[in-house]
């Protein structure tokens, strides 16, 4: 057996085989796959084999599109058949909300180049005659949908990898993974030890157990899943005899997917009375077995399916496939470098392996070989979960995700499972004030405050929700007086040491501030893509505070660790430093009443240590609301005392609490961008306007400098701009196409209603040559064309007099 390799891929399912192939495709031939049994053992062999492009995240949809297009390439490379059936597929909508979701997805597909289309009930009856269209109001047709042979496809990946130089070692069980001091790994198997530079955990059902060998917890859990294959169905037999194939049908109302299988049908269910499997760990002896049939849990689903697809009722059952699939808490894969563990990579939780496996393999290979993937993959980045996650959290979230697999996914929906989990000292105080809670990165965050007589929960919707009036009230409170909001949902990092300034100068593209000042700066990848949007505060010559997105802290801290230097200590203090922001024209008066420190000379972008009431704080003059404001940080142990100090001082000035719904409305007034909306690894600083914060004058060769300078010299092809939208009852959410002269020329990044101006505002990308103030375009919102006007001047405090005054 080979005893050294550059990469050891553990797991021989479709995902492991895809990773192996893509590593060879991108130039690494000294790679090995280790499988304890045969290829396809675990979940791959019993998968239904369906594939589709529909996904709420556009980058995931693009990777699924790549996966589907890859299969013909694999057949050409290897001469093997993947058993491809490109039959197309229809997703049904039986109510307005489901149809709104399909309209939103179709709109996204326009600028992605996907040829989906909205179809009427009559068209559905012709395309998919097995469907009873009673109660159906429309559907989304995707010509790329289809199915394949799971075993043949996996072996095609494997053969293509071998042709590229890869080694595949089957019937070899990994029993230990031990890291050497130089960061390489000893992979101990029952046939000997393999020394590898990198490990890829593609363990599938055993990913938890493989991770545990290295002391890593992967938030995954297997769920039982059941589908049925029927005997011959006369309608299907007639279609086959005529040389045709019946398309896939996804019926979210019935929690089912259906496709042709020979002369019969295959139907699977995501039933509500679902069951987790192997709660205490996947047995190593499990492999090519199935679970006992369990019709009881899908009894209601079958009854519904008989009504939607009447031909099933008289069809005999040919076989029942009941096996486990592995899910992450949000249903997306876990891919990328594991934070805090050198040279350990994840390719786990890919429950839709034949839709996503190719994209996962490509992404991981690019990441390993080129240093970063070509597109933003935050939706499946293993770093999207933090150290706080536990098996007790994972299990109920996985169950919830399974049950909602075919449910409507609303832009404002807050899912209830495993909540509340993580809270700050303010949770009970805010709850008593009527807080309606959301969550970010497992942390409870106030969305808005409901008053007596208002709903205690926001109703999910694609349109303006029942939080509209409460949000408007909070916005008025901030703009007219002063508002207070917790700053717990900022990621925070303490950077100290004699080389702290020099390190930040290299890591950040912007100017490093002097003591007592702060600056705004992008953080760039080597290719010049945005990987962070930071506030950098200098507390002394060798101490700095960084703040950024709370939900990206594991992502950002991984980057800091990968670029660590001697003489610099970086600490993630996101939950060790908390506090509040106060914003509005009365904010200065409130703060002045709470401290003995003279703040009359505190300028915009100043930062000072001071005592506020009884609490020692770090106070910086900046606010995401775009108004006069201060961020006030303290030890969480003193947060409640700080609250009462600020709250009591604010009452004479009409202080109101405000949540994230108001925050997102307020930032639109200033055309401020938001992380993972306007700013993400898909975009560059120049495209988004963040290049104004890059310091090309500094002598440091900061990360991404060459790429950023090249783009500055060449110019960007597109530009982020704001629009005033002629909206009705629905505002831009993100990824809506922008039309000009009958063509799609761009897309929206985010939007909402500006309660201060009484207008609907959106942000999005247009070709640079098309940008002009007052330009009229159309934005497609839920299938309706809405006029929109480019506005290059923010409607609030355009000259910054209030924010900076």
d(CA 399, CA 494): 37
Check: CATH 3.30.1360.120 for 468-488+576-669?
yes
pTM of the entire structure?
Answer: 0.95
d(CA 646, CA 182): 51
CB of 674 closer than 8 Å to CB of 666: no
d(CA 470, CA 454): 8
For residue 28, give the DSSP letter.
Answer: -
- Reply yes or no on whether the pLDDT at 46 is more than 80: no
* Confidence band, pLDDT 50/70/90 cuts, at residue 437: very high
- Reply yes or no on whether the pLDDT at 487 is more than 80: yes
* Torsion from C-alpha of 625, 627, 629, 635, nearest 10 degrees: 0
Q: Where are the domains of the chain?
A: 4-327, 468-488+576-669, 490-574+673-687, 717-803
Beta bridge partners of 700: none
Q: What is the 3-state secondary structure (H, E, C) of 758-772?
A: CEEEEEEEEEHHHCC
d(CA 448, CA 470): 7
Nearest residue to 252 (alpha-carbon basis) of 136, 378, 81: 136
CB of 792 closer than 8 Å to CB of 721: yes
DSSP readout, 535-579?
Answer: EEEEEETTEEEEEEEGGGHHHHHHHHHHT--TT-EEEE-TTTSEE
C-alpha 723, offset from chain centre: 25
d(CA 672, CA 146): 42
Q: Are strands 221-230 and 50-51 parallel, antiparallel or unpaired?
A: unpaired
DSSP H or E run through 505: helix 500-507
CB neighbour list of residue 231: distance below 8 Å, 6 or more residues apart? 264, 315, 316, 317, 318
Nearest residue to 352 (alpha-carbon basis) of 10, 14, 12: 14
d(CA 550, CA 534): 11
- For the domain made up of 717-803, give the CATH fold: Elongation Factor Tu (Ef-tu); domain 3 (2.40.30)
Edge-to-edge order in the sheet of strand 317-327: 117-119, 138-142, 89-93, 248-251, 256-261, 264-269, 221-230, 317-327
CB of 691 closer than 8 Å to CB of 508: no
For residue 422, give the DSSP letter.
Answer: B
pLDDT digits (tens, 9 = 90+) for 96-133: 999 999 999 999 888 887 889 999 999 999 999 999 99
* Confidence band, pLDDT 50/70/90 cuts, at residue 45: low
pLDDT digits (tens, 9 = 90+) for 177-201: 999 999 999 999 999 999 999 999 9
CB atoms within 10 A of CB 122: 9
pLDDT digits (tens, 9 = 90+) for 194-245: 999 999 999 999 999 999 999 999 999 999 999 999 999 999 999 999 999 9
Question: Average pLDDT, stretch 420-429?
Answer: 98
* Confidence band, pLDDT 50/70/90 cuts, at residue 518: very high
DSSP H or E run through 722: strand 718-725
The counts of H helices and E strands in the chain are: 20, 37
Nearest residue to 485 (alpha-carbon basis) of 674, 657, 665, 668: 657
Alpha-carbon distances of 142 from 105, 146, 672, rounded to whole Å? 11, 9, 36
Distance linking the first and last C-alpha atoms of the chain:
72
Burial class for 246, CB neighbours closer than 10 Å (0-12, 13-18, 19+): buried
d(CA 26, CA 174): 26
Residue that wins the pLDDT comparison between 353 and 434: 434
DSSP readout, 651-706?
Answer: GGGT-EE--HHHHHHHHHHTT---BTTTBSTTSBHHHHTGGGG--TTSSS--TTHH
- For the domain made up of 4-327, give the CATH fold: D-Amino Acid Oxidase; Chain A, domain 2 (3.30.9)
Alpha-carbon distances of 394 from 134, 327, 520, rounded to whole Å? 38, 9, 36
d(CA 109, CA 107): 5
Nearest residue to 380 (alpha-carbon basis) of 59, 19, 7, 42: 59
CB atoms within 10 A of CB 799: 10
CB of 87 closer than 8 Å to CB of 260: yes
CB neighbour list of residue 163: distance below 8 Å, 6 or more residues apart? 24, 77, 78
d(CA 367, CA 708): 20
CB atoms within 10 A of CB 652: 11
CB of 16 closer than 8 Å to CB of 365: no
- Domain range 490-574+673-687, CATH class: alpha beta
* Confidence band, pLDDT 50/70/90 cuts, at residue 49: confident
| Phi, psi torsion values for 85, nearest 5 degrees | -135, 95
Alpha-carbon distances of 492 from 564, 592, 658, 675, rounded to whole Å? 17, 25, 21, 15
Cis before 290? omega within 30 = no
d(CA 661, CA 478): 13
C-alpha 610, offset from chain centre: 38
Sign of the four-CA dihedral 316, 319, 322, 325: negative
d(CA 474, CA 657): 7
What integer pLDDT is reported at residue 322 of this predicted model? 93
Beta bridge partners of 360: none
User: Residue 266, SS3?
Assistant: strand
Cite the beta strand spans of 44-173 per DSSP E.
Answer: 50-51, 89-93, 117-119, 138-142, 146-147, 167-169
pLDDT digits (tens, 9 = 90+) for 543-592: 999 999 999 999 999 999 999 999 999 999 999 999 999 999 999 999 99
CB of 492 closer than 8 Å to CB of 547: yes
* Confidence band, pLDDT 50/70/90 cuts, at residue 60: confident
pLDDT digits (tens, 9 = 90+) for 706-755: 999 999 999 999 999 999 999 999 999 999 999 999 999 999 999 999 99
Q: What is the CA radius of gyration of the chain?
A: 27
pLDDT digits (tens, 9 = 90+) for 241-285: 999 999 999 999 999 999 999 999 999 999 999 999 999 999 999
């Amino acid at each position: 057996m080979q005893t050294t390799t550059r990469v050891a891929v553990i797991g021989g399912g479709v995902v492991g085989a895809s990773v192996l192939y893509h590593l060879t495709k991108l130039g690494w031939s000294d790679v090995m796959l280790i499988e304890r049994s045969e290829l396809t053992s675990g979940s791959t062999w019993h998968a239904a084999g369906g594939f589709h492009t529909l996904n709420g995240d556009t980058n995931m949809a693009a990777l699924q599109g790549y996966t589907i297009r890859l299969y013909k390439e694999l057949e050409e490379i290897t001469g093997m058949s993947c058993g491809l059936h490109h039959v197309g597929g229809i997703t049904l909508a039986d109510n307005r909300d489901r149809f709104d979701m399909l309209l939103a997805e179709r709109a996204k597909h326009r600028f992605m180049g996907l040829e989906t289309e909205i179809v009427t009930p009559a068209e559905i009856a012709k395309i998919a005659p097995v469907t009873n269209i009673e109660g159906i109001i429309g559907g989304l047709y995707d010509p790329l949908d289809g199915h394949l042979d799971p075993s043949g496809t996996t072996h095609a990946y494997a053969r293509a990898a071998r042709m590229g130089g890869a080694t595949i070692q089957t019937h070899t069980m990994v029993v230990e993974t031990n890291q050497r001091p130089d960061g390489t790994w000893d992979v101990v198997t029952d046939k000997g030890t393999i020394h590898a530079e990198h490990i890829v955990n593609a363990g599938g059902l055993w990913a938890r157990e493989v991770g545990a060998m290295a002391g890593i917890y992967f938030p995954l859990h297997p769920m039982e899943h059941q589908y049925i294959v029927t005997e011959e169905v006369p309608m299907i037999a007639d279609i086959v005899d005529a040389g045709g194939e019946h398309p896939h049908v996804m019926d979210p109302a019935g929690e089912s997917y259906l496709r042709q299988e020979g002369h019969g049908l295959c139907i699977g269910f995501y039933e509500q009375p679902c069951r987790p499997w192997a709660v205490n760990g996947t047995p190593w002896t499990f492999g090519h077995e199935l679970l006992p049939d369990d019709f009881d849990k899908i009894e209601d689903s079958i009854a519904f399916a008989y009504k939607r697809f009447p031909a099933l009722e008289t069809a005999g059952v040919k076989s029942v496939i009941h096996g486990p699939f592995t899910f992450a808490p949000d249903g997306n894969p876990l891919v990328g470098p594991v934070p805090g563990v050198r040279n350990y990579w994840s390719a786990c939780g890919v429950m839709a392996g034949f839709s996503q496996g190719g994209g996962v393999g490509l992404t991981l290979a690019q990441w390993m070989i080129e240093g970063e993937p070509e597109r933003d993959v935050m939706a499946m980045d293993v770093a999207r979960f933090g150290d706080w996650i536990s098996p007790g959290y994972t299990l109920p979230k996985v169950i919830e995700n399974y049950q909602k697999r075919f449910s409507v996914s609303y832009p404002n929906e807050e899912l209830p499972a495993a909540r509340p989990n993580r809270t700050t000292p303010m949770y009970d105080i805010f709850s008593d004030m009527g807080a309606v809670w959301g969550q970010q990165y497992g942390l409870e965050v106030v969305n808005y405050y409901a008053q007596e007589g208002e709903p205690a929960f926001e109703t999910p919707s694609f349109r303006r929700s029942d939080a509209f009036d409460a949000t408007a009230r909070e916005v008025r409170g901030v703009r007219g007086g002063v508002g207070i909001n917790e700053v717990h949902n900022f990621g925070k990092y303490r950077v100290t040491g004699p080389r702290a300034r020099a390190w930040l100068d290299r890591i950040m593209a912007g100017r490093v501030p002097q003591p007592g000042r702060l600056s705004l700066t992008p953080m760039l990848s080597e290719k010049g893509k945005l990987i962070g949007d930071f506030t950098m505060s200098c507390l002394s010559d060798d101490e700095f505070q960084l703040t950024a997105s709370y939900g990206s802290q594991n992502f950002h801290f991984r980057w800091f660790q990968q670029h660590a230097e001697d003489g610099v200590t970086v600490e993630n203090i996101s939950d060790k430093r908390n506090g509040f922001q106060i914003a509005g024209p009365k904010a200065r008066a409130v703060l002045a009443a709470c401290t003995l420190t003279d703040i009359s000379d505190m300028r915009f972008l100043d930062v000072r240590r001071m005592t506020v009431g009884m609490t020692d704080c770090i106070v910086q003059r900046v606010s995401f609301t775009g108004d006069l404001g201060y961020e006030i940080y303290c030890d969480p142990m003193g947060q409640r005392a700080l609250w009462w100090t600020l709250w009591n001082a604010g009452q004479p000035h009409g202080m109101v609490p405000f949540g994230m719904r108001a925050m997102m409305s307020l930032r639109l007034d200033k055309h401020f961008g938001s992380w993972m909306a306007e700013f993400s690894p898909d975009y560059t600083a120049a495209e988004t306007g963040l290049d104004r914060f890059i310091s090309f004058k500094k002598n440091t060769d900061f990360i991404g400098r060459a790429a950023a300078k090249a783009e500055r010299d060449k110019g960007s092809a597109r530009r982020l701009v704001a629009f005033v939208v002629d909206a009705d009852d629905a505002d831009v959410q993100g990824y809506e196409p922008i039309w000009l002269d009958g063509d799609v020329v761009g897309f929206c990044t985010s939007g909402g209603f500006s309660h201060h101006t009484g207008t609907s505002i959106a942000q999005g990308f247009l070709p640079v040559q098309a940008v002009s103030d007052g330009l009229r375009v159309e934005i497609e919102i839920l299938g309706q064309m809405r006029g929109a006007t480019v506005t290059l001047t923010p409607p609030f405090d355009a000259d910054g007099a209030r924010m900076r005054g």
